[in-house]
Structure 1
Amino acid sequence: MTSVEFHFNAADKLNYTCRLLRKANAKGSNVVVIAQQPLLSELDAALWSFDTLSFLPHCVAGGAADNVLTASPIVIADSTRLAPHADVLVNLSNTVPAGFERFERLIEVVSQDQQDRLVARQRWKHYADRGYSIDRKEVESKSA
C-alpha cells in the first residue's frame, strides 16, 4: 500500500519542493512531480537554477522523448499517466492525483496559504477514508 505523507506549512512551496527533490535525487530515488500550470513551468525553471553548485536532472512529461523520460530521475507532469516510474509521487496540485496508488510513496506539499490547507484537508480525508496510514510532517524553514 502506498505510504502517504503530508508536509505542512511550506513557506515557499516551490523552494521546499526543490529542496525535497535535491534530497530525493541524492538518495537515488525516482520522483514524479504533479503540478498544474503555471506552477509546472515555474518548477521546471527553478530546478535549472535552484542550486548553483549542482544540477537536478529532470524533464517535463509531454515534451520529452520516451528515452529521456525513462532516464530522468525527476519527471514533472500535469498527471501520472506519462509517469515512467512509480517510486515517489510529489503532489503540488489541489486534487488527489489519479493513479497515486501505483506509487510506493506519495508526498503532499502544503503551503501556509489557507486555501491550500483547506483543499489539503479534503485530500487527507480521501486517503484516510480509504485506509491509508498518513504521516504528518511540519516543514522547517531553511534556505537553499
Structure 2
Amino acid sequence: MTRVSFHFNVPHRLEYACRLLRKATRQNARIAVTGAVLTLVELDRALWSFEPTEFIPHVLLREGQALPERLADTPVCLTATLAGAPHHDVLLNLGAEPPAGFESFERLIEIVSTDDDERAAARARWRHYASRGYAIEKHEVPA
C-alpha cells in the first residue's frame, strides 16, 4: 500500500520541492512530480537555478509526450499525467487534487504551504486518502 506523507507549513513550495528532490536524488530515489502544467514549468525553472554549483537531473514531459529512451534513467520526471511516469517509486504531488493513479506508487508526498486555500485543498486530499484506508504521516516544517 502506498505510504502517504504530508509536509505542512512550507513557506515556499517550489523551493522546498527543490530541496526535497535534491535530498531524494542524493539517496538514489526516482521521483515523479505531478501538478498543474504551469507549476511544473515553474519547478523546471527553479531546478535549473536552485543551486549554482549543482544540478538536479530532471526532465519535463509535455502533455502526451513519451519519455525518450535516452532519458529513461533520469531520476526526476515532471509530468502532468501519471500515465507517462517512467517509474513508480516516489510521487510528489504539487496539484490541488489527489492525482489519478497515485496508488501505483510506493510513496506519495504532499507539500502544503501556509496559504489558506492551499491548506483547505490539502485537507480535502487528506480526507480522500484516509477514507480509502491509507495511513498518513504528518510532518510539520519548522518556520
Would the alpha carbon gap of residues 98 and 59 (structure 1) be closer, same or farther in structure 2, given more than 3 Å must change?
Answer: same
1:17 is aligned with what amino acid?
A
Residues 61 and 69 of structure 1 are in contact (CA less than 8 Å); yes or no, is this contact kept in structure 2? no
Q: TM-score, normalised by structure 1?
A: 0.93
Q: Following superposition of structure 1 onto structure 2, how do residues 16-95 of structure 1 map, counting pairs within 5 Å? A: 16-62=16-62, 65-95=67-97
- The CA deviation at 1:61 is 1.6
What per-residue deviation string (whole Å, max 9, x for no partner) do you get for residues 24-65 of structure 1?
000000000002132111100110110112100000123564
Would the alpha carbon gap of residues 94 and 66 (structure 1) be closer, same or farther in structure 2, given more than 3 Å must change?
Answer: same
Q: Distance in 2 between matches of 1:95 and 1:69?
A: 28
Residues 59 and 76 of structure 1 are in contact (CA less than 8 Å); yes or no, is this contact kept in structure 2? yes
Partner of 2:134: 132
Residues 69 and 75 of structure 1 are in contact (CA less than 8 Å); yes or no, is this contact kept in structure 2? no
2:46 is aligned with what amino acid?
A
Structure 1, unpaired ranges of 5+: none
- The CA deviation at 1:89 is 0.1
Would the alpha carbon gap of residues 25 and 31 (structure 1) be closer, same or farther in structure 2, given more than 3 Å must change?
Answer: same
Over aligned residue pairs, what C-alpha RMSD do you find? 1.2
Runs (4+) off by over 4 Å: none
Identity of aligned residues (%): 48
Q: TM-score, normalised by structure 2?
A: 0.94
Q: Distance in 1 between matches of 2:94 and 2:70?
A: 23
Alignment length (residue pairs): 141
Q: Distance in 1 between matches of 2:15 and 2:5?
A: 18
3-state SS in 2 of match to 1:85: coil
Residues 59 and 68 of structure 1 are in contact (CA less than 8 Å); yes or no, is this contact kept in structure 2? no
Q: Distance in 2 between matches of 1:114 and 1:140?
A: 18
| Alignment of 1:96 onto 2:98 | yes
